[in-house]
Every structure is written in structure tokens, then in C-alpha cells.
Chains A and B, each alone.
Chain A
Amino acid sequence: MKLLLEPSTQTRNDGIFRLLTIVAASFILLIMILLFIELLSNSWLSLEKFGLQFLLTNVWDPVRQEFGALSSLYGTLVSTLIAMLIAVPLSLVIALFLVEMAPPMVSKFFGMAIELLAAIPSIIYGMWGLFVLAPLMAKYVQPFLQKISGNLFLFKGPPMGIGMFTAGIILAIMVLPFISSVMREVFLMVPNVVKESAVGMGATTWEMVKVMVRYGIQGMIGATFIGLSRAIGETMAVTFVIGNSHSISTSLFAPANSITATLANEFTEASEPVYLSALVELGLLLFVVTFIIQMVSQLWLKRVQKRMGVQ
């Protein structure tokens, strides 16, 4: 060991090392700040020209250079809503199965399978959605839904497979592992005393779970937020199946668009400054929305953890 080094050199080296780590850590801050500045300055043209109308009108005309992103916003909103309506209850019961019902070996196996769903790249979901799921939807699921719903306005139009509905389903599958893993943790956080007292009162498993849900409801809301921001930002899978049409339809079977799909499809084609600027503004919007959702969910989950005595 080089104890021969003079103490002052050692303290200096320590200072340098410490400084290096601080610089590296500051890069996270720097990236976030630059990200915001770049998105803002590059969308300035569009922000100035269209103002609030950008969010409220549905024109997407690169030739006349008129842009209003309502169809993309609507698509992101509706596809995310479908995804959450499917994924949240499903994640809840999956977490329930893994924590309360399955024997350890089975739980481990299923848990791993659900986790692996999160490891599959987004573009593979896109391939599967476009070439496998969409044709099945067009042939069986969509005609079936039309038949049993008596041609409800939500399910009108030719069953093409691609469109809002299929995009929502794929998104649901993709966020499932994220939501269910947080739900699982929430279930595990519920103290045994709570469960035991429920069972001791003669409650069935489901009744015990209702008590657990009431106990962990805040954590579950946090889990939903996490899934939400994933679903909103998901790009490739949605781009493959949503149909890419800048029109708003009440039917879920109609082709639609989302913020991410519009970006993925049109960004490299945008040659006019205004066009590009409008697309960057979509990106800015997405960034701000996901930032807020994540901030809220982080603060929220931290509070829940504190309240439930885990740290």
C-alpha cells in the first residue's frame, strides 16, 4: 500500500474523486434541463403560430402548414384509457394470485413469466400485434363484439383489426407487468395481523382481499400511475397497430393516431420548419405530461411507503 504518499496528496485525490462523482451525478440534472430547453425552443415556432389552437383543433395539413393535434391527443387518451381499464383489474387479480393463492413454486414460475413480458422489446409487440393479433381481431373478436353489442356506436364500422381497440389491448398487455409488480409489493406490505384478523372473523379469501385492498388502496393508485405513464409514452407497438389516421371517430374500431405514433411516422419526413416544430411540440407535450404523472406517482408512493412503515 502506498502510505508513502503524503497526506495532502491523498486528500487532494479524494477531493478529485468526489468531484468526479458529483460531476457525473450533475449530468442527470443537466440532461433534464437541456431536454426541456431543447424541446421548448424547437417547438417555439409552432407554439407561437398556433397557440392554444394546437390542442383544440383537428387539422393536420403539412401542405398548407396548418397543425392542430387534437386527433393525436384524443388517440393517446382513448388508447391509454382502454389499456388501463383492462390492465388495472387484471394486474390486481394476478398480483392476488401470486401473493395469496399460488403455492411458492407456482407463484415463482408465473411471476417470472409476467416479468419476462416486460423484457420483450416494444417492437416485437408491434410485429405480433400487426401480423398475428390484428387479423384475429378482424376475423373473430370485432364481429363478435358488434353482434353482442347490437352495433353500439363504439364498435361501428368495418372490422379491420388495426385501430384504437387493438392498440389499447396491446398496451394493456405491455403495462401489465409494471402494474402487477407494484401491486404485488403492496399486497406484501399488508401486515399479517390485518389478514389474520379478517380470516379469524370467518372471511373468505376474497373478503380478506377486500380488506387488503382497502388497506393498500393508495399503493394501488400509485401502481396505476406508473402503468399510466408507461402506456402514454409507449411508441413502437402502438405505431404498428393504431392505423395512423388523423381523424377522430367515436368508433374504437376505426384507425386512429396517438402522439407517439404521429412522431414515429412523420418525424423524419418533416422538411418544413413549422411541420417539424409542430411535431417537437407534440414531444414537449408528451414530456410534460409524463413528467407530471411520474412526479406525482413518486411522491405518492414515497408517502405510502412511509405510512405503511417500509423504508
Chain B
Amino acid sequence: MKERSERSRIYLDITVRLFSAFSALFGLVILIWILTVVILRGISAINWEFFTELPTPPGMGGGGLANAILGTVIITVVATFISVPFGLLAGVYLSEFGGQSKFAQNVRFLTNILMGTPSIIIGIFVYTMLVRPFGHFSGYAGSVALAILMFPLVTRTTEDILQLVPNALRESALALGMPRWKVTINVVFRAAKKGLITGIILSVARISGETAPLLFTALNSPYWPTNFTDSTANLTVTIFNYAMSPYEDWQKAAWGASFLITFAVLITTLMVRYLVREKHGK
């Protein structure tokens, strides 16, 4: 190491400390900045009509995004119902049966990779599977795309949480003569219930703000989502389309939708985290 005077070493140390404190502060400032902008610009677009009316053409004034809100809810709920059973079962396999077998390790490996695959690629994939062959965009294609994104998330959290259940519990149930499937569902699941629900809610929050996978699948629509086999209105693609349009009232509506999505996601995430911490605290 180079010789340095005592003083220069201390100055360098102080500089680095200040720099790192400022960097952490920078992260916080960005967060607050984004949230403030979303609140300030978003809240002025939110009113009763925003939740109850269909969108209007630019320049007309009035109107809302009720169809997109409903569409996002439907697409997300359907995606959840598709992915949760698969995710839970796959997670059970990894935690209860798979162990360190070659197959289980490969599944684990690919689960992680699928989790990190860019969501737009899932959009293209579902487009080639469910949109092009049928010749039209559809809400269920959007749901499938989101379900594929959610599947590895649920699998991973299920495995992690089931691993936390003490083995003694499984063993005592098995010793009583319970079959394995009953042990899993009646004992292991019950013990891990809170964790599982938390994991699923966090996964839903993660995917409900996704845009890229819906661009090529659900697309968007100015009408009520009455036909799930046709393009379906949703909030995130609406934000994209409206923000890119030159019309001021559409851009304003995009901010309103941004406000809604951001706070739905953040509040859910925070609430669930808080509940978990509460549980662990006691």
C-alpha cells in the first residue's frame, strides 16, 4: 500500500462516508420525487367519472377509464387463477418431493431464469401462440402472458415458505398414518398459510403494473371489456397510448391512471410487508 499521511487518509474516509450517505439520500429523493409527481399530476384527473365513465375522444372533455380499470382487474384476476394452482403445486414439488434430484435442480434453475426473462419476450411468445393463430388480440391472451410471468414468482415463494415449516410437523403427521398429500394440504399448508398468501399477493402486485406483455396480447380498447376473446381495455396500455398522444386531456388521464396503478401496487406491497413483519415480531 502507498504511504499516505494520517490527515489525507481521514479526509478520504470522510469524503467516502459523505458520498455514500448522499447516494442513499439520492435513492430516497428519487422515490419521493416520483411519488410526488404522480400524486400531484394524477389526483387532478381523478373524479367520480374517472371510475364510472367510458373514455371520450380527445378534446371532448369528461369521460373516464372505467373500462380500463375493470379490464385490468379482470385480466389480473384470471391470470392469478391460472398461475396460482400451477405455482403452488410446482412449489410443493420442489419443497416436498424434489429435494436435490437432478430434475428438481433443473426446475429451480429454470424458474429463476424465467423470473428474470424480460416481460416483453413473454408478450411475443403469447402473441405467437395465442394471438396470431386465432387472428385477433384477446383479453385471455393477456391473462396467459401475465400468468406466465407470475408462475415462477409463486413457485419460488411457495418453495421458500414451505421450507420454513419445521420437519417435525410433517413427521408427526406422517407417523399418525396420514398420507403424504393430506399432510401437505392439511398440515404444511396450514402452517404456512400466512406466508403463502403474502407471497401470492406480492406476486399479484408485481404483475398488475406490467405493460410490455399486454401490448401484443390484450392490446387495448375504448369499450367495456364485455368480450374476453377480443382486445380488452387495461390501464397500463392505456397509459402508454395516452402518454404518447399529443392531446392534453389524454395525457392528464394517463397521469390519473398512473396514480391509480402506482398506489394500488405500493400500498399493497407495503401493507403485506408490514403484516409479515408484525407476524415475525411476535
The residues of A with any CB-CB pair to B shorter than 8 Å are: 1, 3, 10-11, 13-14, 16-18, 20-29, 31-32, 34-35, 38-39, 42, 90, 93-94, 96-98, 101-102, 110, 113-114, 116-117, 119-128, 130-132, 173, 176-177, 180, 204-207, 209, 226, 229-230, 232-236, 239-240, 260, 263-264, 267-268, 279-280, 283, 286-287, 290-291, 294-295, 298
Main secondary structure of the interface of A (DSSP, over half): helix
Closest A residue to B177 by CB, please name it.
A3
Q: Could you mark each residue 197-232 of chain B with 1 if its beta carbon is under 8 Å from any beta carbon of chain A, else 0?
A: 000000001100111100110010000000000000
Q: Which residues of B contact A131 (CB under 8 A)?
A: 37, 41, 243, 251
B172 interface hit (Cβ, 8 Å): no
User: With A and B bound together, what is the CA distance between A233 and B210 in angstroms?
Assistant: 13
Do A94 and B120 touch across chains, with their CB atoms under 8 A apart? no
The answer to whether B93 touches A28, judged by C-beta atoms less than 8 angstroms apart, is no
Taking CB atoms and an 8 Å cut-off, the chain B residues in 151-178 that contact chain A are 151-152, 155, 176-178
Q: A32-B113, A233-B120, A291-B113 are in contact. Are A101 and B21 (CB under 8 A)?
A: yes
B246 to chain A, nearest CB (A): 13
- Partner pick for A294 among B25, B112, B254, CB 8 A cutoff: B112
Contacts of B262 in A (CB 8 A): 120-121, 124
Instruction: Judge whether A31 and B151 touch: CB under 8 Å.
Output: yes
| Contact A29:B258 (CB < 8 A) given known A205-B13, A206-B12 | no
Chain A proximity of B10: nearest CB distance (Å): 6
Are A294 and B38 in contact, with the CB atoms below 8 A?
no
**Least CB distance, B43 to chain A, in whole angstroms:** 14
In the bound complex, residues from chain A placing their C-beta under 8 Å from that of B97 are: 18, 21-22
A130 surroundings in chain B (CB, below 8 A): 243
B236 and A32 contact, CB distance less than 8 A: no
Task: With A116-B31, A123-B236 as known contacts, state yes or no: A24 contacts B24, CB within 8 Å.
Answer: no
A86 to chain B minimum Cβ distance, whole angstroms, is 11
Interface string of B43-56 (1 = CB under 8 A from A): 00000000000000
